[in-house]
Structure 1
């Protein structure tokens, strides 16, 4: 009997111990579960904070850009844009005002430009991305490239800046330099149009385009007029397509008027050439009196 009582007493103690152990393990599991949830929650909060901080930093860069560009482009809102042309516009604006910014602001610009160029390269490997990189290299290496103006660096003296440029790209650069110098010759302001010709900032591009139209009728040299007209008709459709919000109906009308006048002048020139050919034929076939009368008629028709 004593043995039976002892057995039940031991069984009771054993079951009690099991209950205590099981209860403790449940509490430990619950604590671990809460701890894991807390850790996951902390991680999510940290990720969200990192994202928020990144957005805030980029918004700050947009604010800096607005400060230097006169708050006309709303870069604070555009700075997180994934649009190809808006990214190009932002990089162009940063490069355009880079030398005015403080060192801390320049570092923020550098972070944005380097990340943005990587994104642009995945979408397109065009010549103007190479040109953006060239301009950025010049600004970044102040010891080697003392002058911040990209247009002064030639392929002969600085071949490392033109590694990815084709012969056609180099010819375009040369033409842009000529057009910029021509605009400078007809400008009283301190604006460097040679440099603005290479700007990817839409405001600079429109200023240069408008200046080219302003001086078009002042240029007497035929070769210079042809160069200027070639620039105007090539850049106008691109500006209208890429930045329709800046391309006003007034600009469109001015462009169309210039184009119409040039086409009309070219048609008259062709007509005159045909008449001169007829005169040469008459000189071979008709008497002098007939030739003189024909020339008089041509002169009268030109005056009319």
Structure 2
């Protein structure tokens, strides 16, 4: 009987121990589960905070850019855009305003510009990416490129700025370089020197391009015939580019004015050629006819 009581007593104690162990195990599992959830939650919060910080940093860069571009583009809102046209315009705006920025602001621009150029290259936007990269190299390396005027650094004089370009791009960039330089020089020639159009002519920022077009149309009739051809080439190409990629900057009114100026120039030039032919004919007649006859012929030509 004693043995039976002892057996049940031991069994009771064993059962109690098992219950305690099982209960402790459940609590430990619960704690581990909560700990894992807490760790995951902390990781998610950390990732979210990193994203938020990144967005905040980019928005701050956008504020700086807005300050230098006249608050016309709301770059603070656009900075996180993944649209390649937005990326191109933001990068071009940063490059065009790089000289104005403080040392700290330039560092903030640097981070965005480098990433943006890589994205543009990856997306096969090579032409504009390499030109932005060329300009950025000049502006960001004062020790090597003491004069920060973009227009001074041609393909022939500074081939290192055009290394590793795909076949065919070097020739195209050289051609564009000459177009931009000529256009800027013409605008400077007929302007009041308040703006450096030779430099602004190289800007790929859509707002600057539109300003250049407006100025080109403004001085169109003042320019010489050969200069008008260069103005026409730049203006018509830029208007097409704006219409295609940045329609909010495109102006039908400006295109209409260009067409009218072009027609007027064509008529004027045709009249000039016609008059030159007439004068040649008169000169030839003067050698063979009496003066009185030549005078009558001039009257018939209605040349005054």
TM-score (norm. length: structure 2): 0.86
TM-score (norm. length: structure 1): 0.86
Matching of residue 195 in structure 1 with residue 199 in structure 2: yes
Runs (4+) off by over 6 Å: 295-298
TM alignment of 1:1-304, pairs within 5 A: 1-163=1-163, 164=165, 165-220=169-224, 222-265=225-268, 272=274, 299-300=301-302
Question: How many residues are matched?
Answer: 290
Cα separation, 2, equivalents of 1:20 and 1:82:
58
In structure 1, stretches of 5+ residues that fail to align are none
The 3-state SS of whatever aligns with 1:218 is coil
Cα separation, 1, equivalents of 2:8 and 2:185:
109
The 3-state SS of whatever aligns with 1:80 is coil
CA drift at 1:177: 1.2
Cα separation, 1, equivalents of 2:120 and 2:19:
65
Cα separation, 1, equivalents of 2:32 and 2:228:
80
Cα separation, 2, equivalents of 1:119 and 1:171:
25
Cα separation, 1, equivalents of 2:270 and 2:81:
46
Q: Residue deviations 1:140-190, cap 9 Å, x none?
A: 212111122211112333210122242232122123212211211111133
Cα separation, 2, equivalents of 1:207 and 1:166:
27
Cα separation, 2, equivalents of 1:118 and 1:181:
32
CA drift at 1:243: 2.2
Contact 2:154-2:174 at 8 Å conserved across structures = no
In structure 2, stretches of 5+ residues that fail to align are none
Aligned CA RMSD, in angstroms, stands at: 2.8
After the TM superposition, which of the residue ranges 208-217 and 163-172 deviates more from structure 2? 163-172
CA drift at 1:232: 2.0
Shift of the 50–298 alpha-carbon distance from structure 1 to 2, 3 Å rule, reads: farther
Cα separation, 2, equivalents of 1:90 and 1:104:
18
The 3-state SS of whatever aligns with 2:221 is helix
Shift of the 113–232 alpha-carbon distance from structure 1 to 2, 3 Å rule, reads: same
The 3-state SS of whatever aligns with 1:31 is helix
Cα separation, 2, equivalents of 1:234 and 1:296:
43
Q: Residue deviations 1:61-108, cap 9 Å, x none?
A: 111111111111111111112222221111111111112111111111
Shift of the 246–171 alpha-carbon distance from structure 1 to 2, 3 Å rule, reads: closer
